[in-house]
Amino acid sequence: MSPEVLARLMGYHCLYAPEAELRDLCAAFARTAAQAFLEIGTHRGCTSAAIALAFPSARIVTLDLPDSLRTTWNPLPRAQVGEAHRALGVAHRIDQRFMDSDELWRLTGCGECFDLVFIDGDHSPAAVFRDLMLAADLLPPTSGTLLAHDYTDPHEPARPNWTLGVQQAVDRFIAARPFRKHRLAGLLVALERA
Ligand SMILES: C[S@@+](CC[C@H](N)C(=O)[O-])C[C@H]1O[C@@H](n2cnc3c(N)ncnc32)[C@H](O)[C@@H]1O
């Protein structure tokens, strides 16, 4: 991705260490079959636009709430949801859906499958745990990666308070399902099959 494109994306990001996190997100997706990417929590669309630019053949689905103002997690008027897709000319590449991630089981029921699911919607412990459990069923049977944002490990010296619930949910998930966690840049954690 050119420095000019990266600079344009920066106007739409909702990340913690955007350049390093986008680099690690792209690298994590590249380590999979990299055919299909799902994001929970579109917001302005920085991450999904970046994936569309970096992976020109990938299928990209991103979802946000039907009423994106009715959340305590980065509320945004619906007209601004996914605005980076339009600004960077990749809206035609991205399947932008408006649905609550608690309905993710519907995608499984339709046979949808994703090589990487990026979980960045409702960051409360119960919602992150639910999203992880439902997203795990959307991965290929023996491969695929889950990525969660706003995670810190308990031993880290700097722990923003909004990362604590995500950590609780991730640890509850890996106690329930055979996945290993790998800490990535910024506030990213990857979960891969053990
Ligand atoms: C931190 S922002 C996402 C940032 C985006 N992933 C990015 O990388 O630029 C959180 C988004 O999640 C959405 N959200 C909150 N709860 C959700 C839910 N239950 N289902 C889907 N989206 C949700 C919010 O509306 C908000 O736009």
| pLDDT band for position 79 (cuts 50, 70, 90) | very high
To test the ligand 1 pocket, which listed residue (53, 74, 94, 107) has its Cβ within 8 A of the most ligand atoms? 74
Dihedral of CA atoms 148, 152, 154, 155 in degrees, nearest 10, equals 140
Give the residue from 157, 92, 106, 168 showing the smallest Cα distance to 135: 106
What pLDDT, on a 0 to 100 scale, did the predictor assign at position 46?
Answer: 97
For residue 76 and ligand 1, the question of a CB distance below 6 A is answered with yes
84 near 12, Cβ under 8 Å? yes
The per-residue pLDDT for 1 is 80
Domain harbouring 20, CATH code = 3.40.50.150
Q: How many domains is the chain built from? A: 1
pLDDT band at 2 (very low <50, low <70, confident <90, very high): confident
In angstroms, rounded to a whole number, what is the distance separating the alpha carbons of residues 164 and 184?
A: 16
Whether the CB of 131 sits within 6 Å of ligand 1: no
Domain that holds residue 25: 3-193
The predicted-structure confidence for 17-59, as pLDDT tens digits, reads as follows 999 999 999 999 999 999 999 999 999 999 999 999 999 999 9
What's residue 139's pLDDT?
98
